[in-house]
Structure 1
Amino acid sequence: MRRLLSLLTAFAFVGLTAAYAGEVKPFSDSKEIDLLTILPPPPANDSAQTKAEIGEVLTLQVTRTPEMVARAQADAEENVWRFADVLGPDFNKDKLPKLAAFFDRVVETEGAVVDPAKDVFKRPRPHQLSELVKPAVKPSNSGAWPSGHTTVGTLMGIVLSNMVPEKKAEIMARAWEYGNNRIVGGIHYRSDVEMGRISGSVIAATIMKHDDFKAEYEPAKAELRAALGLGGA
């Protein structure tokens, strides 16, 4: 019995160690990038700005087309493969394992930096302030300021455009649409999106200086450019 317990304990330890080792580690966090010292506080709930921004969301609610809604719903997914409509069919997870692992860390970095700030700012979402707002995407009750989706979209866009500078304009335009679709979807105010773009830019500028980022960036970039039929850059 004692031997069995020892074996079970050993297996449990190995399992926990493997699970921990498999966790995606962000390139940075809120201790290094403190958005509370970078971003201004959000507008008050009863401010003229917030009321105007709710008005914009409500206007979009009655003017958005089914195609716009479909794009907003698809962009609710937080991963780099949403840029495939710019980079083409060869831009996919199966063909780019190094890039996939690298961007898993990039995406994880957004949450590690943004979520603590959201918890402090605590800006209500449009649908939480106005019962007239009916989000076209899955509702969220986390803080709205800044937009996490916009942050990660901007961050991914900046990194991708550095890897493929030939398509920088198209990639960044797609990143901007990714953020704007949070307004189309009725889940964010425009100023949340603006703060997300600032946040994504700050995170990108910070992590690109890290040695571990550089070590994973170069092989991921080489893999991507080879898959797209591009030479070295």
Structure 2
Amino acid sequence: MRTILIAAVTAVAFAFSPVYADEAKPFATAKTVDLLTLLKPPPANDSAQTKAELAEVLTLQVTRTPEMEAQAQADVVEDVWRFADVMGPKFKQEALPAFSSFFDRVVATEGAVVDPAKDVWKRPRPHQYSPLVKPAVKLSNSGAYPSGHTTVGTLMGIVLSNMVPEKRAEIMARAWAYGENRIIGGIHFRADIEGGRIAGSVIAYNLMSQPEFQAEYAVAKAELRKALGL
């Protein structure tokens, strides 16, 4: 009976996964994970903390290397394939259709949860706060806090490291670098990154208790581990 049930869940997951290829359905929204009640508000624009965070951005602006800029620019892309450098050569999208569709939904979840909080707090980006800031990455004028890129990088890192605990240290180090690159790129302040890491962790914890998430997670994990030879 258990085998039949698992097979049925797997079949359903495979049957529906292509639907999310173009417009993925989030696993959670701001109604299920309310960051306004989970995070403290961002620092005030005229606070000593914001001024210190601006100084960090400006310091990085004159000390970052071309290699650091290139990495920050590459990490503008929000998808799990940014972890390929630590996952190895078998980590390829074309070989992992169910895994890919699953993480499309994980990425969509970040926007559904984070964007409403950004709209309420409306923290300015560094380049909006000071004309001295010259970002090395594509400009964004959405609220800065919490960082969506950092949130999704942390979220993806936690979920991916749960699938492949053998590489947990490398995966989470890469997730942390994904957030740091938003400061290096001059598009976020330090508090935005810290808020994003908390948000990503909270979302991951919430998702792991959801039956729908668990069903697709199991299929994606099995496909990934098989592809990696684990």
Q: Identify whether the pair has TM-score above 0.5, normalized to the shorter chain.
A: yes
Query: % of aligned pairs identical?
Result: 75
**Paired residues, number:** 213
In 1: Cα distance, 2:73 partner to 2:144 partner: 17
Matched, 1:144 2:149: no
Q: TM-score, normalised by structure 2?
A: 0.90
Contact 2:106 2:156 in 1 (8 A): yes
2:104 is matched with 104
Question: Which residue number corresponds to residue 70 of structure 2?
Answer: 70
Contact 2:124-2:143 within 8 A present in 1 as well: yes
AA at the equivalent of 1:151: T
Structure with the bigger RCO (C-alpha within 8 Å, sep 6+) is 2
Q: Which residue of 1 is the match for residue 161 of structure 2? A: 161
Could you tell me which residue of structure 1 aligns to residue 184 of structure 2? 184
CA change 1:79–1:22 in 2 (3 A) is: closer
What SS is found at the alignment partner of 2:94? coil
Using the TM superposition, give the Cα deviation of residue 89 of structure 1 relative to its aligned residue in structure 2, in angstroms. Answer: 1.7
Q: Which residue in the other structure is 1:196 paired with? A: 196
The CA distance in 1 between the partners of 2:86 and 2:77, in whole Å, is: 16
Question: How far 1:23 sits from its partner (Å)?
Answer: 3.5
Secondary structure of 1:94's aligned partner: helix
Query: Mind listing any 5+ residue stretches in structure 2 that lack a counterpart?
Result: 1-18
Tell me, yes or no, if the aligned pair for 2:126 and 2:189 is still in contact at 8 Å. yes
TM-score by length of 1: 0.89
- Give the Cα separation in 2 of the matches to 1:20 and 1:183: 31
Task: Write the distance in 1 (CA, Å) between the matches of 2:139 and 2:123.
Answer: 14
Shift of 1:28: 0.4
The code of the aligned residue for 1:113 comes to: V
CA deviations on 1:183-231 (whole Å, 9 max, x unpaired) are: 000000011000000000000000111111011001110111111111x
* 1:225 aligns to 2:221 (yes or no): no
Name 2:16's counterpart in structure 1: none
Q: CA RMSD in A?
A: 1.5
Separation in 1, partners of 2:99, 2:225: 11
Residue 24 of structure 1 and its aligned partner are, at CA, apart by 1.4
Unaligned runs of 5+ in 1: 1-18
2:81 is the counterpart of 1:81: yes
Give yes or no for the alignment of 1:53 onto 2:48: no
Deviations 1:34-80 (A, max 9, x none): 00001111111111100110000000000000100000000000000
Q: Secondary structure at the match of 1:28?
A: coil
